[in-house]
A and B are shown apart, each in its own frame.
Chain A
């Protein structure tokens, strides 16, 4: 479904991603793990079109999207739950969700989708007319995920969704991701919490200083001594 072929991304003169290639199949849950600054978020930003690739190609459903602007990629069915959530802080919970559905405006479907998100995260329904910035960190993360789901995406990119959350919410977020995966949604996950990410993923890639150094089935990666030592705390 998604094929990334040898992309290189620079911030000025600094090379953040050096020739990374990988792919995500339909219905798969793939995790990219690695230390802080390894280039994980940059890869997601490049797939979403928020960061330009100096070389390489990004192909989504046999279509080269390397030069496509962000909003058009969103219309193809790619969405990103960005690091730090990036909600619309002064709009209500429901407005945040509605903007998520922007790429296809059909009132009937919209109602249906809203109900689905509220079913998934009942707390959002309680707070539907509250301003987004007044939610707690965990609730904001639920809203960010809900907003992404409102577009009925075919591929969801998730950037450090567990970062800075209370343990209770970390578990809830991962349960939600697992649930989406079971429903058949394709997910690409970037996580510092390698243990949890590998526990739910089908496959994984290990990133070090902008390069893929290991790849394979998640369970195999999780039991690899090098991965264990570097990312799972021994």
Chain B
């Protein structure tokens, strides 16, 4: 249907959308800033890679195992995050990212610097595209359900004011762990897809710069909104493909973008107060 290149880009963007949605649960809804989200993605990818190559399990068996494992590990890693807030939480999550990456790199079981190769998907590129985007759709539906449920409301109340949430009877610790569990479980799904798509993974794929890329996507698209992560992942996932020369400076540009958005457009590119919407409304009013 599409060419190989188009499919590759589309699958990559699909994986980024899932990652962005998963981070949005933790950082957007629950307000727990995470600068180490690539760690959870990596944990998912390594789980799948190991289960596929060392245990020889098939794709659809590995998938639920990986999601269960990353959910579990994510909840455990949330525990050190419970004791800290805001800036300290940001630093703790960066730390988690580096530690996880170092474990992948230096523990021989995880393939060391060589990474893990030979992960074979049982289907071709075109099927992989449909499967990936099927999961994207599933995540969007899940996200929509979540934000309208009592769980979503509880997460948002914690973001807004932890003390007031506790006074209203919300178990703040439980819901923070839940946010990390959901977020890392979905990141595990993204890792699973990534591992099978790339067929080869290494620790470098899941470093701190990747965490910044994912965070930039949700900030750019509109943090804490439903459309934000999808929009951000599509635009920022596509940009380096369309403007090849900027590929080298990707992290730099995303970093600058992050600062710019936080300072001038905190609601995201299509947020209530964004430049684009205001201009659009202005044009409509004049017309």
Chain A residue numbers with a CB within 8 Å of B156 are: 88, 91, 95
Taking the complex as formed, is A86 at the interface, i.e. its CB lies under 8 A from any CB of chain B?
Answer: yes
Inter-subunit contact A99/B165 (CB<8 Å): yes
Chain B residue numbers with a CB within 8 Å of A71 are: 166, 169-172
Inter-subunit contact A50/B163 (CB<8 Å): yes
Chain A residue numbers with a CB within 8 Å of B163 are: 50, 70, 82, 86
Inter-subunit contact B166/A74 (CB<8 Å): yes
* A100 to B165 CA separation, bound complex (whole angstroms): 8
Instruction: Fill in one digit per residue for A29-57: 1 if any B CB lies within 8 Å of its CB, else 0.
Output: 00000000000000000001110000000
Taking the complex as formed, is A22 at the interface, i.e. its CB lies under 8 A from any CB of chain B?
Answer: no
* A87 to B156 CA separation, bound complex (whole angstroms): 12
* A151 to B160 CA separation, bound complex (whole angstroms): 19
Instruction: Fill in one digit per residue for A52-72: 1 if any B CB lies within 8 Å of its CB, else 0.
Output: 000000000000000001110
Give the distance to chain B from A16, nearest Cβ to Cβ, in Å: 17
Inter-subunit contact B164/A82 (CB<8 Å): yes
Taking the complex as formed, is B167 at the interface, i.e. its CB lies under 8 A from any CB of chain A?
Answer: yes
Chain A residue numbers with a CB within 8 Å of B71 are: none
Chain A residue numbers with a CB within 8 Å of B161 are: 86-89
* A100 to B153 CA separation, bound complex (whole angstroms): 11
* A98 to B170 CA separation, bound complex (whole angstroms): 12
Taking the complex as formed, is A80 at the interface, i.e. its CB lies under 8 A from any CB of chain B?
Answer: yes
Give the distance to chain A from B246, nearest Cβ to Cβ, in Å: 34
Inter-subunit contact B168/A100 (CB<8 Å): yes
Inter-subunit contact A91/B168 (CB<8 Å): no
Taking the complex as formed, is A147 at the interface, i.e. its CB lies under 8 A from any CB of chain B?
Answer: yes
Taking the complex as formed, is A75 at the interface, i.e. its CB lies under 8 A from any CB of chain B?
Answer: yes
- Interface-central residue, A79, A99, A103, by most chain B CB under 10 Å: A99
- CB-based nearest B residue for A133: B160
Inter-subunit contact B154/A99 (CB<8 Å): yes
Chain B residue numbers with a CB within 8 Å of A103 are: 168-169
Within 8 A of B (CB), among A120-152: 147, 151
A74-B164 contact, Cβ under 8 Å, with A88-B156, A99-B157, A102-B150: no
Count chain B residues whose beta carbon lies closer than 8 angstroms to a beta carbon of A.
Answer: 17
- CB-based nearest A residue for B164: A86
Instruction: Fill in one digit per residue for A77-121: 1 if any B CB lies within 8 Å of its CB, else 0.
Output: 001101000111111000100111011010000000000000000
Within 8 A of A (CB), among B227-275: none
A151-B150 contact, Cβ under 8 Å, with A87-B161, A88-B157, A91-B157: no
Inter-subunit contact B150/A147 (CB<8 Å): no
Chain B residue numbers with a CB within 8 Å of A49 are: 166
Give the distance to chain A from B162, nearest Cβ to Cβ, in Å: 10
Inter-subunit contact B171/A89 (CB<8 Å): no
A74-B160 contact, Cβ under 8 Å, with A95-B153, A99-B154, A102-B150: no
A87-B164 contact, Cβ under 8 Å, with A98-B153, A99-B153: yes
Chain B residue numbers with a CB within 8 Å of A82 are: 163-164, 167
Instruction: Fill in one digit per residue for A135-173: 1 if any B CB lies within 8 Å of its CB, else 0.
Output: 000000000000100010000000000000000000000
The contact sample of 12 A-B pairs, CB cut-off 8 A, is A49-B166, A50-B166, A69-B166, A75-B169, A79-B168, A86-B163, A91-B157, A91-B160, A102-B157, A103-B169, A147-B168, A151-B169
Contacts A87-B161, A99-B154, A102-B150 known; list 6 others, CB within 8 Å. Answer: A69-B166, A74-B168, A87-B160, A88-B160, A99-B165, A102-B170
> Interface residues, chain A, CB within 8 Å of chain B?
48-50, 69-71, 74-75, 79-80, 82, 86-91, 95, 98-100, 102-103, 105, 147, 151
- By Cβ-Cβ distance, the 7 closest A-B pairs, closest first, are A103-B169, A74-B169, A88-B160, A70-B166, A86-B164, A99-B157, A71-B171
